[in-house]
Structure 1
Amino acid sequence: MNATPNPPKKRKTGAPRPSPTLSRAAIVAASIAVADTRGLTGLSMRKVGEELGVEAMSLYNHVTHKEDLLDGMIDVIFAEIDLPSPSDNWQAAMRTRALSTLEALERHPWAAPLMESRATPGAATLTHHNTVLGILRTNGFSVRLAAHAFSALDSYIYGFALQNVNLPFDALSDIQQATEMIVNRMPADTYPHLAELASTVVMQPGYSYRDEFAWGLDLLIEALEHTRRATDDPTPEPPAAAP
């Protein structure tokens, strides 16, 4: 007599469970990898899914939409930036922070336009901003002057980063070749100052445009220190309590 075969097991119904191999951190890391290779225009849920070897729809178990994903990506970039100690001299602290920020933006060229654009910043972003402001405040900057300094420094850092990554050359040999090509198409008698700059500075051995960053940063920090020393705290005192 033949044994009765076991009936097939019924599949459980309900919402699919998130894949145990996925996490928000893994999705954000994969998204950064895609953006580093393809830029923001090449970033899509489908490409991130391909990077992780999963269907794009499974990503939505961990991120709600692309803006949420960008929030997480920018928070990771802020976490990569070295933050000095609040007890450090403010000039040295701002140099450390600025150079580390530039290095992070060189690793992730797509990030500079987004660094201050997030309406829902993450913990690393908020910690970064709070620390920078704290260093300025504990070193004699008024609230208003700290705001000015923070804005000026960030404008310089992000602006330099954008210009640096968009230059039409990558290496020292490239900049010299590109400059020589431009000079050859640029009559020196018509554009004498550009020709002088190219021959005297840019085409000299060892020139690197990136070295301009430190020079400009020192100039800005020196100007901020001069302003700090010369400016009284404009924050009004709270009104005295009534007798």
Structure 2
Amino acid sequence: MSHEPDAASPIDPGRTRRSRGSLNPDLILQAAEDVAAEGFDALTMRAVAGRLGAVPMALYNHFATKDALVDALLDRVLGRFELEPATGDWVDDLRRFAHAHRRVLTGHPWAVAPLFSRPNPGLGAVRIGEGALGILQQAGLSGARAVAAFSGIIALNYGWSSFTAPRTLDPGTPGRDVGAALAALPRREYPLTVGAADELASYGSDAHYDFVLDQLLNGLRMTARASSGS
């Protein structure tokens, strides 16, 4: 676990030093999110303290380590997931679940990599899993099959978001010109790639996502029907 030394805080110019005891977890987490949105690698206790006009040690009164702060911050992000009301059609419910989860990730591109890699999921992740398992239970899927289906949707969303997050964070990324680069390849050597250059240029698009999600859901529908004998 990381615990930064008590060093002078680089308080932002123009900010007055915060009075003792005026911090609370919500203020700290909002400041941490503001810092992380500018670049997750820059998230440090000193950077957060500087944004708040406080000294780093004041943050440790609320979060014992930087790891604890990051875990709370990521749980805060996942806490914004909203499960829509059930429709009576579990396939449609699961599709809307997948889209709602993906919206959380696309709305916080800086959080995709740390959410995927941190070992502590937090109650936000547990609540998301509970919602998905409830939908799958309506389909007659439980146990290993339900967990596998839930994991597949989550993996799809994290994988898809890992494609799109760099472009969201840096709209000027060279990846925007990938179509032209692929189209310029020797057609004799790469005929399929050159022929699909335009579509490859839009990898990670909403249309591509919906196509893949539908294939996953269609497979689950077939499995559920086979399990029920219908």
Match of 2:218 in 1: 222
Alignment length (residue pairs): 208
Superposition RMSD in Å: 2.8
CA 1:117 to 1:86, structure 2 compared with 1: closer, same or farther past 3 Å?
farther
Q: Distance in 2 between matches of 1:133 and 1:228?
A: 14
Match of 1:132 in 2: 132
Pair 1:189-2:188 in alignment: yes
For structure 1, which runs of at least 5 residues remain unmatched after alignment? 1-17, 234-243
Q: Distance in 1 between matches of 2:54 and 2:213?
A: 44
Shift of 1:208: 7.0
Match of 2:45 in 1: 45
Determine helix, strand or coil for the equivalent of 1:54: coil
Shift of 1:67: 1.5
Larger gyration radius, structure 1 or structure 2: 1
Contact 1:36 1:107 in 2 (8 A): no
1:97-142 CA distance string (max 9 Å, x none) = 2222222212222322333555554333322221221221133112
Amino acid at match of 2:102: L
TM-score (norm 1): 0.75
Q: Distance in 2 between matches of 1:120 and 1:193?
A: 42
CA 1:66 to 1:232, structure 2 compared with 1: closer, same or farther past 3 Å?
farther
CA 1:178 to 1:142, structure 2 compared with 1: closer, same or farther past 3 Å?
closer
More helix as a share of residues = 2
1:184-204 CA distance string (max 9 Å, x none) = 3x21221111100015x357x
**Percent identity, aligned pairs only?**
28
Q: Which deviates further from its counterpart, 155-164 or 116-125?
A: 116-125
Determine helix, strand or coil for the equivalent of 1:140: coil
Pair 1:21-2:26 in alignment: no
Contact 1:137 1:143 in 2 (8 A): no
Match of 1:240 in 2: none
Match of 1:198 in 2: 197
Match of 2:16 in 1: none
Match of 2:144 in 1: 144
Amino acid at match of 2:186: P
Contact 1:106 1:165 in 2 (8 A): yes
| Stretches of 4+ aligned residues off by more than 6 angstroms | none
TM-score (norm 2): 0.78
For structure 2, which runs of at least 5 residues remain unmatched after alignment? 1-18
Q: Distance in 2 between matches of 1:149 and 1:133?
A: 9
Q: Which deviates further from its counterpart, 100-109 or 151-160?
A: 100-109
Q: Which deviates further from its counterpart, 45-54 or 97-106?
A: 97-106
Q: Distance in 1 between matches of 2:129 and 2:27?
A: 25
Contact 1:87 1:135 in 2 (8 A): no
Q: Distance in 2 between matches of 1:124 and 1:167?
A: 26
